[in-house]
Chain A
């Protein structure tokens, strides 16, 4: 960049020598040091509230740690015991199953639907496109707690959803059914999808708009119809955007907390009487923020989630790279 190699000589040539030397020094300082000052705030805040707690969590996960009462009940180093405990903790595996169950149930239809909506919004000469775009953004502006309460109500026995299903002859479903985790999963996945499908459609649309038009033109000249154009031009070109959307979905989906908490009335974080929809984030919270004395175990659960997220993201990356080749 030119500005580092060309100091602003012209305006200073007429100044007396000492002043000029000082301003050259200042100028040097300004160019060499100030960039670091400008990016410093981010790194300071991240170091204190991001990096330190993250490694502190790792450290705590090797201890039997009582968060509320550390003075009278000092932490005891127990090595990998917290991780071993996870291996045969039925509640942990239940939470794992619920997290992945809801995640798959929510994400697969969501991405498919978002792709479809984006493709519809990407039609040239579409009328009312601002209205459609704003309409699908509205759910994302609604807070997750609000979404939880709204859908909790719509999924009641006499709620709108059962009424709508009744219209097509599907008999009332008990969406808070005893022991039936499918009903819980479906309800929670619906909330997630309502809030995020439109948002993801907008991002995929952005990716589609960035694809050069002449690619479609040459495909059309080669005789490719709309369907063929989508699979041969749009989808491969959309790969980076799709990767972005799916990784964001993984990071968010595996941390799912608010929707299932509110859906199960929000007072506890057990996710229903039989933990039908308790996710890993809720189980972590239960161990460390409800019963503070299990904070070490909660920390271990946190790190297991982090590793899962990283593995799922890498797996997803490899999968998308392969399928689109």
Chain B
């Protein structure tokens, strides 16, 4: 083993060249947003690309805010509300169901878990048309509840939390709680929830990201007057496509929260993505 380790310690430079190139390609378009957002329109009309940012950001962003038909902050607030409500709900329902599937015994447990896995295959667009009709009947078209309700639980979340509970909570811990007279709910609340907190945090991040970036359904059921951030972005891009500094300033602010999330919680997010994959 020791001999082998010495042999492979140094990687071929091609590995680093390749990975650096991949990283640059991954980062450049985001840097590009930053450049265009901070310069006046000239940056895009140059035949050769501009590499350095300018000082026009506030100017550009204010142009976007000044438009009567662009409801940027409303979109931002709606996105925060929608993503947060969905995230809290998904985390609670998934940890609870995940606990039940991992640690409680009941008839039909495996069949029900399998059903949940199968529902992951059902594409979201399949129910789009009736869903719109339902929202219309309930008077929720153009209301942000329309983009909250359908996402309150998640099959992926249940599955992830089941796997996490299986690996993070030893059976002895559950038994000890039972012996102490805990009900199953009390066990969940006082024993399981603290133990699965790291996994739940990953699920929260992934859910928040997914909701923040959702577009098809919000576009169908909301209007640019009461939008989510993505609906606003779509609207800005086709309404103000002649003024890209305005579009990109709004874009920069819209993508910033998730970029920061990756910078601060990148390790956990990556762990969650990889965890979900191996156990699938």
- Residues of A at under 8 Å CB distance from B? 1-4, 6-8, 10-12, 26-27, 30-32, 34-36, 38-39, 41-42, 45-46, 49-54, 56-57, 60, 67, 70, 116-117, 120-121, 123-127, 130-139, 141-154, 156, 158-160, 163, 194, 198-199, 202-203, 205-207, 209-210, 217, 220, 240-241, 244-245, 251, 255, 257-258, 261-262, 265-267, 281, 284-285, 288-289, 295, 298-299, 302-303, 305-306, 309-310, 313
Contacts and interface: CB of A to CB of B under 8 A. Distances in A.
A30 B237 contact: no
B258 A45 contact: no
A169 B136 CA distance: 55
Contacts of B106: 32, 35-36
Interface stretch (B66-74, B116-124, B193-201): B116-124
A49 B270 contact: no
Contacts of B238: 265-267
Interface centre among B247, B263, B277 (most CB of A within 10 A): B277
Contact of A144 (B26, B99, B126, B213): B213
B277 A289 contact: no
Contacts of B2: none
Contacts, number: 323
A56 B127 contact: yes
A3 B182 CA distance: 12
Nearest to A259: B215
A3 B174 contact: yes
Given A54-B126, A288-B129, A42 B116 contact: yes
B46 A158 contact: yes
Interface in B1-29: 4-5, 8-11, 15-16, 18-19, 22-23, 25-27, 29
**Secondary structure type dominating chain A contacts:** helix
B30 A120 contact: no
A136 B23 contact: yes
B128 to A, nearest CB: 7
Contacts of B49: 160, 163
Contacts of A41: 93, 96-97, 152-153
B96 to A, nearest CB: 5
Given A135-B26, A146-B255, A46 B119 contact: yes
Contacts of B18: 116-117, 120
B215 A258 contact: yes
Interface string B212-243: 11011000100000000110011001100100
A203 B277 contact: yes
B22 A142 contact: no
Interface in B152-198: 152-155, 158, 171, 174-175, 178-181, 183-185, 188
Interface centre among A38, A39, A153, A298 (most CB of B within 10 A): A39
